[in-house]
Chain A
Amino acid sequence: MPELMLDDPDGTLVMLRDSVTGFAARFPGAKAMRERRGRGGTMDPLIWSAMAEAGWIGLLLPEECGGAGLGLREQAVLSEALGRALIAEPTGTASVFAATLLGGASPGVERSRLAAGVASGEVVAVPAWTSGAKPVVARSVNGRIVLSGETRFVDAARAATDFLVAAQDADGVMLLSVAANADGVAISERAGVDGSAIATISFSDCAVPADRMLSRANRSEDLLRQAILHTRLALAAELTGVASKALELTIAYASDRVQFGKPIGSFQAIQHRLVDMWIEAEFAAAAVVNAVDALRGDDDDAAELAVLAAKARAGEAAFSICRRAVHLHGAMGYTDECDIGLYLKRTINLNAMLGQPEQLRLEFVERESGYRRGRI
Chain B
Amino acid sequence: MASDWNDIPDEEFRSTFRAWVDQNCPAQLRYMRKQRPLFNEVAEWYHALAAKGWLAPTWPRQYGGMGLSAAKHMIYVEEWGRLGCPRIPDHGIGLVGPLLIEYGSEEQKAHYLPRILSGEHVWCQGYSEPNAGSDLASLQTSAVLDGDEFVVNGQKIWTTLAHCANWIFVLVRTERDAKVRQKGITVLLLDLTSPGVRVRPIANLRGEADFCEVFFDNVRVPLKNLVGKVNEGWTVAKSVLGHERIFLGAPTRPEYALERLRRLADARGAFEDPAFLSRFARLRLDLYDLGSAFERYAKVLRAGGELGADVSALKIVTTELYQRITEEMLTVAAEEARLADDLAAGDIEIDAMNLFLDSRSPAIFGGSNEIQRNILAKAVLRLPG
Task: Please give me the residue from chain B that is nearest to A371 by CB atom.
Answer: B271
A5, A263, A290 — which one has the most chain B CB atoms within 10 A of its CB? A290
| Highest count of chain A CB atoms <10 Å: which of B281, B290, B313 | B281
Assuming the A-B contacts A265-B383, A275-B381, A278-B380, are A364 and B285 also in contact, with contact meaning beta carbons closer than 8 angstroms in the complex? yes
Contact B296 A286 (CB under 8 A): yes
A286 touches B317 (CB 8 A): no
The yes or no answer to B15 lying at the interface (CB within 8 A) is no
Given contacts A286-B292, A358-B278, contact A365 B284 (CB under 8 A): yes
Contact yes or no, B299 A365, CB < 8 A: no
Instruction: Tell me whether A365 and B277 are in contact (CB under 8 A).
Output: yes
| A275 touching B377 in the complex, CB below 8 Å, given contacts A254-B383, A266-B383, A376-B272 | yes
Closest chain A residue to B271, Cβ basis = A371
CA distance A287 to B291 in the complex (A): 9
Contacts A272-B373, A286-B292; A279 near B317 (Cβ below 8 A): yes
What residue of chain A has the Cβ atom nearest to residue B273's Cβ? A373
Instruction: List CB contacts (< 8 Å) of A275-303 with chain B.
Output: 275-276, 278-279, 282-283, 285-287, 289-290
In chain B, positions 351-380 with a C-beta closer than 8 Å to chain A are 370, 373-374, 376-377, 380
A5 touches which one: B274, B299, B377, B385 (CB < 8 A)? B299
Q: Are A362 and B384 in contact (CB under 8 A)?
A: no
Would A309 and B288 count as touching, CB distance under 8 A?
Answer: yes
Q: How far is the CA of A279 from the CA of B373 in the complex (A)?
A: 10
Q: Which of B259-302 contact A (CB under 8 A)?
A: 271-272, 274, 277-278, 280-282, 284-285, 288-293, 295-296, 299
Q: Are B383 and A271 in contact (CB under 8 A)?
A: yes
Min Cβ gap B107→A in Å is 44
Q: What is the bound-complex CA distance between A251 and B381, given in angstroms?
A: 7
Residue A313 lies at the interface, judged by CB distance under 8 Å to chain B: yes
Contacts of B381 in A (CB 8 A): 251, 271, 274-275, 278
Which one of A275, A285, A309, A376 contacts B285 once the chains associate, using CB atoms below 8 Å? A309
Binary contact readout B307-330 vs A (1 if CB under 8 angstroms, 0 otherwise): 000100100110000000000000
Q: Provided the pairs A274-B377, A274-B383, A278-B381 are in contact, do residues A361 and B285 lie with their beta carbons within 8 angstroms? A: yes
The interface residues of chain A lying within 8 Å CB-to-CB of B272 are 375-376
Is A268's beta carbon under 8 Å from chain B?
A: yes
Bound CA span A278–B384, Å? 16
**Measured CA separation A275–B312 after assembly (Å):** 11
Q: Please report the total number of B residues contacting A with Cβ < 8 Å.
A: 34
Most B Cβ at <10 Å: residue of A5, A263, A272: A272
Interface of chain A: mostly helix, strand, loop or mixed:
helix
Closest to A293 in B: B295
Question: A193 to nearest B CB, angstroms?
Answer: 25
Contact at A309–B289, with CB atoms within 8 Å?
yes
Residue of A nearest to B299 (CB): A5
Whole-angstrom CA separation of A373 from B280 in the bound complex: 12
Beta-carbon contact of B374 and A313 below 8 Å: no
Chain B neighbourhood of A268, CB < 8 A: 374, 377
CB of A314, distance to nearest CB on chain B (Å): 10
Contact of A313 with B383 in the complex, beta carbons under 8 Å:
no
Are A275 and B288 touching (Cβ within 8 A)?
A: no
Per the bound structure, the CA–CA distance linking A266 and B383 in Å amounts to: 6
Cα distance, A55 to B50, chains bound together (Å): 60
Least Cβ–Cβ distance between B178 and chain A, in angstroms:
26
B374–A282 contact, CB under 8 A?
Answer: no
The answer to whether A218 has its CB under 8 Å from any CB of chain B is no
A contact residues around B291 at 8 Å (CB): 290
- For A1-24 the 0/1 string (1 means CB < 8 A from B) is 000010000000000000000000
Is A255 positioned at the interface, with any CB of B under 8 Å from its CB? Answer: yes
Give Cα A235 to B281, complex, Å: 21
- Given the contacts A266-B385, A362-B278, A365-B281, A271 and B374 also touching, CB distance less than 8 Å: yes
Q: Write the chain B residue with the least CB distance to A270.
A: B383
Known A263-B384, A286-B296; contact A375-B313, beta-carbon cutoff 8 A: no
CA distance A263 to B384 in the complex (A): 7
List, in ascending order, chain B residues with CB within 8 A of A376's CB: 272
Do B293 and A282 touch across chains, with their CB atoms under 8 A apart? yes
A268-B374, A364-B281 known; A283 and B289 CB under 8 Å? yes
**Of A282, A368, A372, which is in contact with the most chain B CB atoms at under 10 Å from its CB?**
A282
- Chain B residue at smallest Cβ distance from A262: B384
Is the Cβ of A289 less than 8 Å from the Cβ of B376? no
Residues 53-95 of chain B: 1 if any A CB is under 8 Å from the residue's CB, otherwise 0? Answer: 0000000000000000000000000000000000000000000
CA distance A306 to B289 in the complex (A): 9
Which residues of chain B have C-beta atoms less than 8 A from A309's C-beta? 285, 288-289, 292
Closest to B375 in A: A275
Residue of B nearest to A376 (CB): B272
From A254, A262, A287, A362, B289 is in contact (CB under 8 Å) with A287
A265: B residues at CB distance < 8 A: 383-384
| CB<8 Å pairs between A and B, sample of 7 | A5-B299, A266-B383, A268-B377, A276-B373, A368-B284, A373-B274, A376-B272
Residues of B within 8 A of A (CB): 271-272, 274, 277-278, 280-282, 284-285, 288-293, 295-296, 299, 310, 313, 316-317, 370, 373-374, 376-377, 380-385
Besides A254-B383, A313-B289, 7 new A-B residue pairs in contact (Cβ under 8 A), listed by A number:
A263-B384, A270-B383, A305-B288, A361-B278, A361-B282, A364-B284, A365-B284
Question: 5 closest pairs, A vs B, by CB?
Answer: A290-B292, A271-B377, A361-B281, A286-B293, A286-B296
